[in-house]
Amino acid sequence: MQLLFETTIDGGRYIDWLLSGLGWTVLLWLGAAAIASVFGIVIGCGRASTSMTYRLVSRTYVQIFRNIPLLLQAFLWYFVFPELLPTAAGTAIKQMPPPWASFVPALFAVGLYTGARVAEQVRAGVGSLPQGQREAAHALGLSSFNTYGCVLVPQALRTMAPSLTSEALALLKNTSVAMTIGLLELTAQAQQMNEFTFRTFESFSVVTFAYFALSIFIYGVAELITRRLSATKVAAVGKAQRQA
Amino acid sequence: MIPYDFGAIERALPYLGEGMLFTLKLTAFAFVGGLVIGILLAVIRHIRVPVLDRIVWTYVTVMRSIPLIMVLFWFFFLVPLVLRKFSPEGLSVSVSPQLTAFVTYTLFEAAYFCEIIRSGLLSVPRGQYEGAKALGLSTWHAYSLVIVPQALKAVVPIMVTQAIILFQDTSLVYVLSLTDFVGAASKIAQRDGKLVEFYTFAAVVYFIVCSAFAELADYLRQRRQAKSDVRAPTPIAVTAAS
Amino acid sequence: MNPNETPVVELVSLTKRFGPHTVLNGVDLKIYAGQKVVICGPSGSGKSTLIRCINGLEDIDGGEVVVRDKHTGVRYTKPTDIRRQVGMVFQSFNLFPHYTVLKNCMLAPLKVNGADREEARATAMKLLTKVRVDNQADKYPPQLSGGQQQRVAIARALCMNPTVMLFDEPTSALDPEMVKEVLDTMVALATEGMTMLCVTHEMSFARRVADRIVFIDGGRILVDASSDEFFSEAAHPRVREFLGQVLAHA
């Protein structure tokens, strides 16, 4: 792995390229995860709503963002979106400096795509809760917003933990699509290093290893959170039983 | 409204058609090939063949942990090397990018199918295996005639979903400068400067095709659930079809 | 029961362990052609394990299982060979839901014995008629009632022309009204002279059909007696205790 510490054309070292790529990947992951969480929960709850408009909007959202390839979605955000806006806004976007010009469209693309997938999981998770939970919340006079926010979604998150974990890992893999619109994240850096040094095996190995490390990290954090969530549930039930 | 040049799309249809043909060929090949290999891998893991089990586990885990683009890069680098090494002396093997793409996607899908089919295998009651064995059927016959058919039936909806994902994933051959449907649309869009028209057209096509198959998958899943008499808590969703 | 005949099934010092727990402890048993043997005992006594060891569904940790072909007298000790001589009927039927009833019965003769397709079909229909399920031949198992499915399972096992038929609690998973039809089928089979080894709680069946009753407790055979002796006043105390519990619920 001495490759990493050799000097590059522009005077730095390859490890700087790798770390830069890593930084963009992580930033994209965090941003997209935030977008996906918000949209996922809102749309996911919308699928099971009593309001027909809300249901329709949610269903359309999911259908659109799940049935178009992520690559194409990235292209749409990067090439087409600026054209569809009023001229002033469009020009402003096109004048964004390079890394951000690629980062922002990628953020929207990956974020909304993942949001659609999370929405489906939230729908399944909320749907698997006993009917009684919603009925009890209504009986108590809770608004729809509070019913979902305080009662249903928190419980659903527990059952959804495993599928959300795999979604988080899939999100990591999907960030690589950003390289097609010019973002120099990890995979792009693998290609760059290869092109400049022709040491394909080393360049690719180092980046592959970086992905493994990130995967393990995400998985570890997810496990911790899952365990925490299950622990509080078990503790609460145990406490209730002791008091009974 | 912004101007939309429908004519440009019409003129480009033949070329787009070629791109779609490549997409379909790649999808079909990788689906079938991945399924066959996936079944084999799943059975190896299920019956825990001594050394192979670990090898398959490693392969599947690695394939599922790296981005597809990275896998494509790896295979594009490795496959020509491997094929050249194993080809007879004197035979100059030119490995086309298309061939590498087909091999890569097949092996990539196999890893995902392995996990899907494994879950199917686990859902087949153990009694089926015992019934088959008690009749004297060999392990090969027990699996090929009794267990695997039932496992496949159990995961049909998931497989349709996986096919949709594969159909979309083929677009990533873009990074290898291969021309699939998205690639064709992209090339013309760049050449003629009609980005909006062609990218939105491509999006609409994918939307129609994938939605149709997604409805099919949903229908199959609901039919399966209606058949099995599972006593589950009443779901909250207003209607199943909402 | 002719002691001079060679037994069709012989268990010699059969031992089976599940982890630290010894389920079968050096069991010896000889079954002769044409005998109807019922194996009974309290839960966990090892009776199911015993018959599952005979056709190799469980590996044995000690001892030997020998099965002799009823026609040729050839001795078999390997599970793959034994399974061709031994038919098994399970508590949960284990019919193949993705094949028709007829295909379920034809599958093994075709694939294991390499039988001719027409021959296999004829045999299957004959046996399905015998168990009175022939009119369901083209249906799929989930479409049949429990009693019908179990009778199909019996026919399926019989299609392999076995020397011995093993029954592992064949009526325990059935609704009460269907138990009779299956027991009647088994009685008919017994009357025709089939060698049968049956694990069951149905003591009325045992009294009616069995020549011999084997009582297992704690991995050992405690009693191996004729049916009359078993149900008599002079029986082993553990047996009387067991019968008391079982018959109280009958």
pLDDT at B72: 93
* Domain ranges (residues) in chain B: 12-226
pLDDT over 80 at B80, yes or no: no
In whole angstroms, what is the distance from residue B27 CA to residue B33 CA?
Answer: 10
Calpha distance C16→C31 (Å, rounded): 20
Which chain B residues are within 8 Å of A68, Cβ to Cβ? 168, 203, 206-207, 210
Query: How many beta-carbon pairs below 8 A join chains B and C?
Result: 61
* Residue that has been written with the tokens 């295979």 in this structure: B75
Question: CB-based contact (8 Å) between B124 and chain C?
Answer: no
CB contacts, 8 Å: C153 with chain B = 131
- Contact C/A (≥3 CB pairs under 8 Å): no
Work out the average pLDDT over B165-171.
95
d(CA A156, CA A169): 20
Q: Is the pLDDT of residue C161 over 60?
A: yes
Identify all chain B residues contacting C90, using CB atoms and an 8 Å cutoff: 127, 130-131, 134
What pLDDT does residue B6 have?
79
Query: Given pLDDT bands bounded at 50, 70 and 90, which one contains residue A232?
Result: low
CB contact under 8 A, B150 and C98: yes
Residue that wins the pLDDT comparison between A107 and A151: A107
**B68-86 and A200-243 helices cross at what angle (nearest 10)?**
130
Interface touch C107/B134, C-beta < 8 Å: no
Tens digits of per-residue pLDDT, B35-74?
Answer: 999 999 999 999 988 899 999 999 999 998 899 999 999 9
Rounded CA separation A172/A174 (Å): 5
Provide φ and ψ at C22, rounded to 5°: -90, 110
Query: Taking CB atoms and an 8 Å limit, are C57 and B134 in contact across chains?
Result: yes
Cα(B44)–Cα(B56) distance, integer angstroms: 8
CB contact under 8 A, B137 and C107: yes
Q: Across-strand partners of C164?
A: C86, C195
What local confidence, expressed as pLDDT, does residue A51 receive? 81
Q: Which helix (H) or strand (E) holds A83?
A: helix A81-84
pLDDT (mean) for C224-235: 79
Residue B123 touches chain C, beta carbons under 8 Å:
no
CB contact under 8 A, C95 and B131: yes
What confidence tens digit (pLDDT) does each residue in C35-83 have?
A: 999 999 888 788 889 999 998 898 899 899 999 987 888 889 888 889 9
**Cβ atoms of residues C60 and C22 within 8 Å:** no
Residue B226 reports pLDDT greater than 70: yes
Q: Provide the pLDDT confidence category of residue B238 given band limits of 50, 70 and 90.
A: very low
Minimum-distance CB partner of A67 among B186, B210, B237: B210
B24 phi, psi to nearest 5 deg: -65, -45
Other Cβ atoms less than 10 A from the Cβ of A194: the count is: 18
Average the pLDDT over C119-128 and give the result.
94
Could you give phi then psi for residue B51, rounded to 5 degrees?
Answer: -85, -40
Where does the pLDDT of residue A241 fall: very low under 50, low under 70, confident under 90, or very high at 90 and above?
low
Q: Do B135 and C108 touch (CB under 8 A)?
A: yes
Domain C9-88+164-249: which CATH class?
A: alpha beta
* Cβ–Cβ below 8 Å for C83 and B153: no
> pLDDT tens-digit profile of C133-144?
999 999 999 999
In whole numbers, what is the pLDDT of chain C averaged over residues? 89
Task: Check CB contact under 8 Å for A68 and B234.
Answer: no
Hey, are the CB atoms on B135 and C156 less than 8 Å from each other? yes
- Classify residue B234 by its DSSP letter: P
Q: How many CB pairs under 8 A join A and B?
A: 129
Q: What is the pLDDT of residue B235?
A: 36
Average pLDDT over residues C106-117: 90
Q: Which pLDDT score, from 0 to 100, does residue C249 have?
A: 62
Q: Give me the helix-helix angle, B97-123 and B156-169, nearest 10°.
A: 160
Interface touch C157/B134, C-beta < 8 Å? yes
| pLDDT value for B230 | 41
The whole-number pLDDT of residue A148 equals 76
DSSP class of residue C171 equals T
Interchain contact B158–A (C-beta under 8 A): no
Q: How far is C55 from chain B (nearest CA, A)?
A: 7
CA dist., res. A168 & res. A223, Å (int): 12
CA distance C48 to C54: 10
Comparing A174 with A137, which gets the higher pLDDT?
A174
Q: Which chains touch C (3 or more CB pairs under 8 A)?
A: B
How far apart CA C96 and CA B144 sit, in angstroms, is 13
Give per-residue pLDDT as tens, B4-26.
Answer: 777 878 888 888 999 999 999 99
Supply the Cα-derived Rg of chain C in whole angstroms: 18
| Chain B neighbors (3+ CB pairs < 8 Å) | A, C
State the pLDDT confidence band at C152, using cuts at 50, 70 and 90. Answer: very high
Q: Provide the pLDDT for residue A187.
A: 94
Q: What's the average model confidence in pLDDT over C9-21? A: 91
The per-residue pLDDT for A131 is 76
Could you give the percent of chain A with pLDDT greater than 90? 42
More confident residue, B174 or A98: B174
Verify whether the Cβ–Cβ distance B134 to C88 is below 8 Å. Answer: yes
CA distance C52 to chain B (A): 9
pLDDT tens digits for A98-144?
888 889 999 999 999 999 999 988 888 888 887 777 778 777 777 77
Mean pLDDT for the stretch of residues C199-209? 87
B139 touches chain C (CB under 8 A): no
What is the phi/psi pair of residue C17, to 5°?
Answer: -120, 140
**Which pLDDT does position C149 carry in this prediction?**
95
Query: Looking at the complex, does the CB of residue A133 fall below 8 Å from at least one CB of chain B?
Result: yes
Could you tell me which chain C residue has the CA closest to the CA of B152? C98
Q: Do A126 and B236 touch (CB under 8 A)?
A: yes
More confident residue, C203 or C117: C117
Q: Which residues of B touch A47 (CB under 8 A)?
A: 237, 242
Which residue type, as a one-letter code, is found at position A56?
L
CA distance to partner chain A, nearest, from residue B187 (Å):
12
Q: A176, B238: Cβ pair inside 8 Å?
A: no
pLDDT score of B2 = 62
Collect contacts of A141-149 with beta carbons under 8 A, ≥24 apart: A144/A49, A144/A50, A148/A45
Q: For C211-239, what is the mean pLDDT?
A: 83
Inter-chain residue contact C112 with B137, CB threshold 8 Å? yes
Nearest to A190 among B70, B207, B211 (CB): B70
Q: Which chain A residues have a beta carbon less than 8 Å from that of B203?
A: 68, 72-73, 76
Query: A108 to chain B, minimum CA–CA distance in Å?
Result: 16
Q: What is the mean pLDDT of chain B?
A: 86
The residue that leads in pLDDT, B215 or B88, is B215
| Mean pLDDT on C128-157 | 94
Query: Average pLDDT for residues B94-116, to the nearest whole number?
Result: 90
Neighbours of B213 (CB within 10 A): 15
pLDDT of residue B105: 95
Which option is the CATH number for B12-226: 2.30.30.110, 3.30.830.10, 3.30.530.20, 1.10.3720.10? 1.10.3720.10
The conformation of residue C3, written as its DSSP 8-state character, comes to T
Distance from CA of B139 to the nearest CA of C (A): 10
How high is the pLDDT of residue B232?
Answer: 35
The C-alpha atoms of residue A19 and residue C123 are separated, in whole angstroms, by 73
Q: Which residue of B has its CA nearest to A152?
A: B236
Q: What is the distance in angstroms between the Cα of A115 and the nearest Cα belonging to chain B?
A: 16
Beta-bridged to residue C68, according to DSSP, are: C75
Report CA dihedral (C176, C181, C182, C188) to the nearest 10 degrees: 150
Tokens of B126: 């153990």
Place of tokens 């010894």: C22
Q: How far is A13 from chain B (nearest CA, A)?
A: 22
Q: Is A197 on the interface with B (CB under 8 A)?
A: no
Cα dihedral sign for B80, B83, B86, B90? Answer: negative
**Interacting residues of A183 by C-beta distance below 8 A, sequence separation 6+:** A24, A28, A99, A102, A103, A106
Supply the pLDDT for residue C198.
95
A69 touches chain B (CB under 8 A): yes
Segment B189-207, tens digit of pLDDT: 888 888 888 999 999 999 9
Three-state DSSP at A50 gives: coil
Nearest-CA residue of chain A relative to B213?
A: A67
b/e per residue C50-64 (b: at least 16 CB within 10 A): bbbbbbbbbebeebe
- Name all domains of chain A by residue range, CATH numbers in brackets: 16-188 (1.10.3720.10)
Q: What percent of chain C shows pLDDT beyond 90?
A: 56
Contact B20, B185 (CB under 8 A): no
**Phi, psi of A91, deg, nearest 5:** -65, -40
C90 to B134: CB separation less than 8 angstroms, yes or no = yes
Looking at residue A142, its pLDDT comes to 75
pLDDT at residue A93 in the model: 75
* pLDDT tier at C2, thresholds 50, 70, 90: low
CB-nearest partner of B199 from A49, A80, A208: A80
Measuring CA to CA, which residue among A112, A117, A105, A114 is closest to residue A179?
Answer: A105
- Residue contact A130–B233, C-beta within 8 A: yes
Stronger pLDDT, A158 or B164, i.e. the higher one: B164
